[in-house]
Amino acid sequence: MTARPSRQLRTLWLTNDLPPRAGGIEQFVANLLERVHPTSTVVVGPAAGLDGAAHDERQPYRTVRHSGSILPTARVARLAVEVGRLHRPDVVVLGATWPLGELAPTLGRALGVPVVALSHGLEAGIAQAGGGWLLARATRDLAAITTISAWTEEQLAPYLRASRHVRLPPGVDVARFHPDLDGAQARHAWGVPSDAPLVGCISRLVPRKGQDQLLAVWPEIRRRHPGAVLALVGEGPAGSELAQRAAALGPDPGVVLAGRVPWEALPESHAALDVFAMPCRTRWGGLDVEGLGIVYLEAQASGVPAIAGRSGGAPEAVIDGVTGTVVDGEDPRAIIDALDRWLSDPAARAAAGRAGRREVESRWSWTVIADRFASLLDEVVTSGRPVAG
Ligand code: GDD
């Protein structure tokens, strides 16, 4: 399914995850919206204030912001049906399967069109934590569901009631994230000398991502690599705890808490790094798990080796030993060994960077992924699946 579809479809999207908020689902949704029938698409998205309005104005698709979150409530259903009746879509797309799949029966019936949903890491976490019945319910009226990795597909498969499952991993914009970019400005902004070995984690600050483990091993890395700097970029609920941990490392620990970087500055931030590290780990009995990890793709597209944690589908984003290292995110020794290895060997870093770049160009480009999604919508609409009623 790689051919561009022959006709323009009218699509209605419903999503609670939409820029300007940062995050993987937001990236996923935005990149598909930009590339798949953008001018005949209307999106019903969550409240986002003035930033949201400025963001929406720049997009080729039209966005209708709800006054709150996009969850399967009667109010959201009414808004979506109202917008749908005006827009007359050929197909409805849900930005996430759970919980939005609960709206599929209402939307399918009211608008008389098939409903397709994307899935991410959370749905696989729900399956792992014993909530398979929730997924069976949420997928019972879907014409198709997409899965982001072999691991998530394996977790979800027993519970999916949708007519079709299609693998649709997230990707990376290989023209924006590029090894030729100059990271000097990002280093300058973070106060990092141009010749200091720089390890970075650019990600939402949540416990699963493992920034706490990076801080825990950092004194040992500094002992082996004096002058090395750890940059933790991003914001999130774990922010203040990470700041306390960094402060507890004493004066001059070689740690920068850089905060959120604007979307435009992300590629240069990656280009500033020598090694990317996000040693993620699974939590809460499997519920809090990494589906894949777009950040690993962004690092590799930038020619930077990536250290990933063995959680969910994350190991699928890196070729262990070739484009980076896969570690147990709860094993400080393994994290130290991986960081030490890449920091000690500039030639190996450069080779891994080249291999990572080749890999993302061939497998993880949004262009290819968006074509696959456009073909799926085409098939679903053409097959004229009867709408549940
Ligand atoms: N602009 C900006 N600023 N973007 C940021 C920042 C920041 O400070 N921090 C993180 N991001 C961006 C990253 O660059 C990346 O594009 C995205 O937010 C994070 O995506 P993931 O690494 O995929 O993580 P996630 O936990 O938010 O996403 C979930 O869904 C993804 C898509 O299906 C997880 O399940 C992932 O495993 C999955 O890949």
**Token pair belonging to 260:** 């959120």
Is residue 208 domain-shared with residue 119, that is, in the same domain? no
H or E element, residue 121: helix 121-128
Is residue 163 domain-shared with residue 311, that is, in the same domain? no
Is residue 247 domain-shared with residue 306, that is, in the same domain? yes
Residue 307, domain CATH: 3.40.50.2000
**For residue 154, what is the DSSP state?**
H
**Token pair belonging to 173:** 């914009």
Q: Is residue 389 part of a domain?
A: no
* Diameter of the chain measured on Cα atoms: 66
End-to-end CA distance of the chain: 30
Q: Which atom of ligand 1 is nearest to the CA of 295?
A: 22
Is residue 28 domain-shared with residue 164, that is, in the same domain? yes
Q: Is residue 254 part of a domain?
A: yes
Contact 19, 31 (CB under 8 A): no
The pLDDT, as a whole number, for residue 6 is 61
Strands 62-65, 144-147: pairing kind: unpaired
Q: Is residue 209 part of a domain?
A: yes
Q: What is the pLDDT along the chain (389 residues), one digit of tens a residue?
A: 334 556 899 999 999 999 999 899 999 999 999 999 999 999 999 999 888 999 999 999 999 999 999 999 999 999 999 999 999 999 999 999 999 999 999 999 999 999 999 999 999 999 999 999 999 999 999 999 999 999 999 999 999 998 899 999 999 999 999 999 999 999 999 999 999 999 999 999 999 999 999 999 999 999 999 999 999 999 999 999 999 999 999 999 999 999 999 999 999 999 999 999 999 999 998 899 999 999 999 999 999 999 999 999 999 999 999 999 999 999 999 999 999 999 999 999 999 999 999 999 999 999 999 999 999 999 999 986 544 43
Strand order of the β-sheet with 306-309 is: 255-259, 229-233, 198-202, 275-278, 306-309, 324-327
Is residue 105 domain-shared with residue 218, that is, in the same domain? no
Q: Which residues pair with 41 in a beta bridge?
A: 11
Q: How far is the CA of 27 from the centre of ligand 1 (A)?
A: 7
Is residue 161 domain-shared with residue 215, that is, in the same domain? no
Distance CA 259, CA 116 (A): 35
Q: Is residue 3 part of a domain?
A: no
Q: CB atoms < 10 A from the CB of 376, how many? A: 22
- Whether the link from the prior residue into 193 is cis, omega within 30° of 0, is no
- Pocket test residue of 151, 203, 206, 256 for ligand 1, highest count of atoms within 8 A of CB: 203
Is residue 376 domain-shared with residue 353, that is, in the same domain? no
The pLDDT, as a whole number, for residue 360 is 96
Q: How far is the CA of 293 from the centre of ligand 1 (A)?
A: 7
Is residue 181 within 6 Å of ligand 1 at its C-beta? no
Q: CB atoms < 10 A from the CB of 194, how many? A: 10
The pLDDT, as a whole number, for residue 388 is 43
The pLDDT, as a whole number, for residue 389 is 34
Is residue 203 domain-shared with residue 216, that is, in the same domain? yes
Distance CA 345, CA 331 (A): 22
Number of domains in the chain: 2
Contact 98, 135 (CB under 8 A): yes
Is residue 341 domain-shared with residue 369, that is, in the same domain? no
Q: How far is the CA of 24 from the centre of ligand 1 (A)?
A: 3
Q: How far is the CA of 335 from the centre of ligand 1 (A)?
A: 21
Is residue 170 within 6 Å of ligand 1 at its C-beta? yes
Q: Is residue 131 part of a domain?
A: yes
Is residue 340 domain-shared with residue 328, that is, in the same domain? yes
The pLDDT, as a whole number, for residue 145 is 97
The pLDDT, as a whole number, for residue 285 is 87
- What are the Cα distances from residue 139, in Å, to 29, 69, 117, 133, 343? 19, 21, 8, 10, 46
User: At a CB cut-off of 8 Å and minimum separation 6, what does 239 contact?
Assistant: 205, 257
Q: How far is the CA of 354 from the centre of ligand 1 (A)?
A: 23
Q: Is residue 342 part of a domain?
A: yes
Q: Which atom of ligand 1 is nearest to the CA of 292?
A: 37
The pLDDT, as a whole number, for residue 4 is 54
Q: Is residue 203 part of a domain?
A: yes
Q: Which residues pair with 325 in a beta bridge?
A: 307
Q: CB atoms < 10 A from the CB of 88, how many? A: 11
Is residue 269 domain-shared with residue 283, that is, in the same domain? yes
Q: Is residue 1 part of a domain?
A: no
Is residue 234 domain-shared with residue 303, that is, in the same domain? yes
CB-based burial label for 64 (10 Å; 0-12, 13-18, 19+): middle
Look up the domain containing 120 and give its range: 11-171+365-382
